[in-house]
Amino acid sequence: MKLIEQDKNESFNIDEPIWISPNGNLLDIEIDAKFDLQKIKNAYPNLWRYEDAIAINQQDGIVSLNEGFTAIEKIKLNGKEIYIKHEQLFSTGSYKDRGATTLISKAKQLGVKKIVQDSSGNAGCAIAAYAAKAQINCEIYLPENTSNSKISQMLAYGARINKIKGDRNATSIAAWKAAKNIYYASHCYNPWFFEGTKTFAFEVCEQLGWKSPDSVVLPAGNGTLIIGCYIGFSQLLKAGIIHQMPKIIAVQTETCCPLYDAFFDTNNSDNNYSSNTIAEGIAIINAPRAEQILNAVKETKGTFIKVNEVEIKDAWIKIAAMGNYIEPTSAATIAGLEKYIQGSLDQTIVSLFSGHGLKSKSLI
Ligand SMILES: *Cc1c(COP(=O)(O)O)cnc(C)c1O
């Protein structure tokens, strides 16, 4: 097990308290993931059932809210059967708990006493909750216009909030500065976050009878789930559990689709992307791991799909009419899923409800 520096291939001990290389390059975690199917079958139904495939030793103590192994449900959408993971049912209301449990567990094992994070939404809530459980001091940087319900949630967990004037980028810069002296629990940079999001792939595979789906339809903002899925399915492939990678289908909104444009080589020289969308959670203009996201989609022979505001709202209404109250950001993925299944002959398609609706405004 080691930390590998992107582009340089230099490696570091996994017990180094770093989240980026000394040269400023992104880090990934290398592990020889093991899957003992009998042992897993008998293990407790949370994401730590895959402990031999996670680079964190449970014996050394983990910070857990009993997260993961979310239900997978077969639903009928526009006449087709689709598997949906209920990722809105995590303790803090989104799948970000997957990454928070591994990142904060690692921080705790490293003896970290204080962390800093920047997020206007669910990642901040998840990191704040797990920091509370770990009794680690947590400081969150937010853009001034962050929704009140999410700020209240972070405050309830005991996080300290710093509101930053200006756009999201100004917030990132402020957090980056603070991270010079404080451990950066970033869901975009810190590789330990992806050690958790990859368990989405493990669960899907196990819940389908240790088989790979043909495709997974996922949101694309900072790509924490896309990169997690790519890592997870790659490790299952390498271990001989599955024999083919699922295609990764990535969904963005028309107002903010820099990765879509990069994928199709669209010349958008104005770069006039806006976070003015009801799917604010994926309105990310500069994803730090953009290259990694594009590679994951390319290598799995997947594609990008973009959706407009009307399509997102319609998807949200359709899903609510089936009894599921999801965050508008989550409805963007479902709108993309509806477009994808129109033209695809894939037999097994998996997607998700990424966040719970109770945190955000109703769309009707
Ligand atoms: C974080 C999040 C997303 C998008 O995830 P990225 O990692 O930014 O690609 C989608 N939906 C919800 C509810 C989220 O919290």
Cα dist. 315→244, 280, 326, 327 in Å? 30, 16, 10, 11
Cβ atoms of 248 and 216 closer than 8 Å: yes
* Cα–Cα distance, 311 to 296 (Å, whole number): 26
* Cα–Cα distance, 133 to 116 (Å, whole number): 16
Task: Tell me if 92 CB under 6 Å of ligand 1.
Answer: no
Give tens-digit pLDDT for 285-342: 999 999 999 999 999 999 999 999 999 999 999 999 999 999 999 999 999 999 999 9
* Cα–Cα distance, 355 to 90 (Å, whole number): 9
Angle at 213 between CA 225 and CA 53, to 5 degrees: 55
The interaxial angle of helices 122-134 and 148-156, nearest 10 deg, is 10
Q: How far is CA 300 from the centre of its chain?
A: 18
Angle at 166 between CA 165 and CA 169, to 5 degrees: 115
Query: The tokens of 176 are what?
Result: 């980056």
Domains 72-95+194-359 and 97-192 share a fold: yes
Give tens-digit pLDDT for 43-99: 999 999 999 999 999 999 999 999 999 999 999 999 999 999 999 999 999 999 999
Task: Tell me if 326 CB under 6 Å of ligand 1.
Answer: no
* Cα–Cα distance, 329 to 249 (Å, whole number): 16
Q: Which atom of ligand 1 is nearest to the CA of 95?
A: 15
163 sits in which H/E element: strand 160-164
Give tens-digit pLDDT for 175-228: 999 999 999 999 999 999 999 999 999 999 999 999 999 999 999 999 999 999
Phi and psi for 314 in degrees, rounded to 5?
A: -60, -40
Q: Which atom of ligand 1 is nearest to the CA of 187?
A: 7
CA of 267 from ligand 1 middle (Å) equals 26
Query: The tokens of 137 are what?
Result: 């001091």
Domain regions of the chain by residue span = 72-95+194-359, 97-192
Task: Tell me if 228 CB under 6 Å of ligand 1.
Answer: no
The pLDDT, as a whole number, for residue 22 is: 93
Q: Which CATH number fits domain 72-95+194-359: 3.40.50.300, 3.40.50.150, 1.10.1750.10, 3.40.50.1100?
A: 3.40.50.1100
Please tell me whether the overall predicted TM-score, pTM, comes out greater than 0.95 for this model. yes
* Cα–Cα distance, 231 to 289 (Å, whole number): 13
Task: Just give the CATH number of 97-192.
Answer: 3.40.50.1100
Q: Which atom of ligand 1 is nearest to the CA of 330?
A: 11
Task: Tell me if 96 CB under 6 Å of ligand 1.
Answer: yes
Query: The tokens of 117 are what?
Result: 């994070």
Query: Which of 354, 356, 359, 360, when mutated, tests ligand 1's pocket best, judged by the most ligand atoms within 8 Å of its CB?
Result: 354
Q: CB count, 10 Å around CB of 273?
A: 20
Task: Tell me if 199 CB under 6 Å of ligand 1.
Answer: no
Nearest-CA residue for atom 5 of ligand 1? 221
> Percent of the chain having pLDDT more than 90?
88
CA of 350 from ligand 1 middle (Å) equals 16
Phi and psi for 328 in degrees, rounded to 5?
A: -50, -35
Query: Which of 103, 125, 224, when mutated, tests ligand 1's pocket best, judged by the most ligand atoms within 8 Å of its CB?
Result: 224
The pLDDT, as a whole number, for residue 276 is: 87
Question: What is 258-318 written as a DSSP string?
Answer: HHHHHHTT---TT------SS-GGG--SS-TTHHHHHHHHHHTT-EEEEE-HHHHHHHHHH
